[in-house]
């Protein structure tokens, strides 16, 4: 009786082991498969729309206000895809504030940062820290310095125009209205900004090709008020000057005011760069000869679309050159 009971217990134990033991089912080869390890937790998919931050330069500049409005309009049309936070600085030289804005966006855990840097070198470090934190970074408008990017060991796609080509377009058009040897002056942007450097080179190209005489080239730091002061000084020191080539439209506005104050409207020609509506008005009025349209409303959108591409496809796109077009009295009249 005891022997029967023991056999019954032993049979029950074997049966329980067969039912409970993992990895005991035969494989197709008939050999027992090794135990299956627990599945590693799957990487969580992005819940909800991506969070994108747009950090620009001075919103006192109509160009960047137009850029912001274009980005907001695009986000409203793609609200299910991403949310948008827009920030700008008080003036074109407030690099410390722009660095702080990038750090804030990283702290808020945005997925992507689209930035128009105030300086081509000073903002690279903070954008590297953003990348290190897992934030996708896209550079628009003013290209980061290639040597600093290389030094930091990072790649950041650039979306923006060929500034040298655009500036040359404007200067060539203006030069056709002057005699060879005519004295001209340049109002530059911030010297450390890549787009400012390239626009200066474009002006230089056209000045040399037309045989004009460059009497001075001075920085007005992209600002209208400073450009007014610089242009006034140039007119006083070089009363023979026949043209002021301005590396952005804010400076063209300041230069135009200085020319009006000197009573030399029509005698001193002005060209700008950006294509803002305030300068288009002066072109129609004959106070400015031309500007370069670089489509501020689309520039940030291109950057945002690149950021979304990286986030979705996990790829790094190449730099994208965007369009520039000359704006003159003739083209402005067609609008």
State the CATH number of the domain containing residue 72: 3.40.50.2300
Identify the pLDDT of residue 26.
Answer: 32
Dihedrals phi, psi of 139, to nearest 5 degrees: -95, 125
Per-residue model confidence (pLDDT) at position 20: 38
- Asked whether residue 35 is domain-assigned, the answer is no
Residue showing tokens 């496809």: 313
136-140 and 158-161 as β-strands: parallel, antiparallel, unpaired?
parallel
**225 in the same domain as 119:** no
What pLDDT does 148 receive? 97
Those residues of the chain that have pLDDT short of 50 are 1-44
Residues 134 and 219 in one domain: no
pLDDT value of residue 262 = 98
Q: What is the pLDDT of residue 46?
A: 63
Query: Residue 264 — φ and ψ, nearest 5°?
Result: -120, 25
Going by their DSSP bridges, the two strands 325-327 and 291-293 should be labelled as antiparallel
Tell me, what's the pLDDT at 47? Answer: 58
Q: Say whether both 174 and 281 belong to one domain.
A: yes
Together in a domain, 181 and 134: no
Cβ contact 250:221 at 8 Å: no
Per the structure, how many domains does the chain have?
2
What pLDDT, on a 0 to 100 scale, did the predictor assign at position 316? 80
Give exposure, 254-268, as e/b (b: 16+ Cβ within 10 Å).
bbbbbbeeeeeeeeb
Q: What is the predicted pLDDT for the residue at 21?
A: 39
Assigned domain for 4 exists:
no
Q: Indicate if 257 and 308 belong to the same structural domain.
A: no
Q: Let me know whether 257 and 135 are in one domain.
A: no
For 204, the domain range is: 163-293
- Tell whether 193 and 269 lie within a shared domain: yes
Note whether residue 282 is domain-resident. Answer: yes
Nearest to 95 by CA among 66, 68, 116: 116
Q: What gap in Å lies between CA 156 and CA 112, rounded to an integer?
A: 12
pLDDT in tens, 48-78: 699 999 999 999 899 999 999 999 999 999 9
Residues 173 and 225 in one domain: yes
* Pair 193, 141 in one domain: no
Nearest to 73 by CA among 327, 296, 267: 296
Per-residue confidence (pLDDT) for residue 14, from 0 to 100: 35
In this structure, the answer to whether residues 66 and 103 fall within a common structural domain is yes
């Amino acid at each position: 009786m005891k022997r029967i009971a023991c056999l019954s217990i032993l049979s029950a134990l074997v049966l329980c082991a067969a039912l409970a033991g993992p990895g005991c089912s035969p494989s197709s080869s008939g050999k027992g498969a090794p135990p299956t390890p627990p599945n590693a937790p799957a990487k969580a998919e992005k819940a909800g729309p991506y969070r994108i931050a747009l950090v620009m330069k001075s919103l006192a500049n109509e160009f960047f206000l137009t850029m912001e409005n274009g980005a907001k309009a695009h986000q409203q049309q793609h609200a299910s895809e991403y949310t948008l936070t827009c920030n700008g600085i008080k003036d074109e030289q407030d690099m410390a504030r722009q660095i702080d804005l990038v750090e804030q966006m990283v702290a808020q855990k945005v997925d992507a940062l689209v930035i128009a840097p105030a300086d081509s070198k000073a903002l690279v470090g903070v954008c590297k820290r953003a990348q290190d934190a897992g934030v996708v970074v896209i550079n628009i408008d003013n290209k980061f310095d290639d040597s600093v990017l290389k030094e930091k060991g990072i790649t950041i796609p650039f979306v923006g125009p060929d500034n040298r080509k655009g500036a040359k377009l404007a200067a060539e058009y203006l030069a056709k209205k002057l005699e060879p040897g005519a004295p001209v002056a340049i109002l530059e942007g911030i010297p450390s900004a890549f787009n400012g450097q390239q626009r200066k080179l474009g002006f230089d190209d056209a000045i040399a090709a037309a045989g004009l005489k460059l009497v001075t080239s001075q920085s007005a730091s992209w600002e209208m008020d400073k450009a007014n002061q610089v242009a006034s000084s140039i007119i006083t020191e070089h009363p023979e000057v026949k043209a002021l080539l301005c590396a952005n439209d804010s400076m063209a506005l300041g230069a135009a005011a200085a020319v009006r104050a000197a009573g030399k409207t029509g005698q001193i020609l002005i060209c700008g760069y950006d294509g803002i509506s305030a300068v288009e008005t002066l072109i129609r009025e004959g106070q400015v000869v031309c500007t370069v349209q670089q489509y501020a409303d689309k520039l940030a959108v291109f950057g945002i679309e690149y950021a979304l591409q990286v986030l979705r496809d996990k790829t790094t796109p190449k730099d994208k050159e965007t369009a520039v077009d000359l704006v003159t009295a003739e083209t402005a009249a067609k609008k």
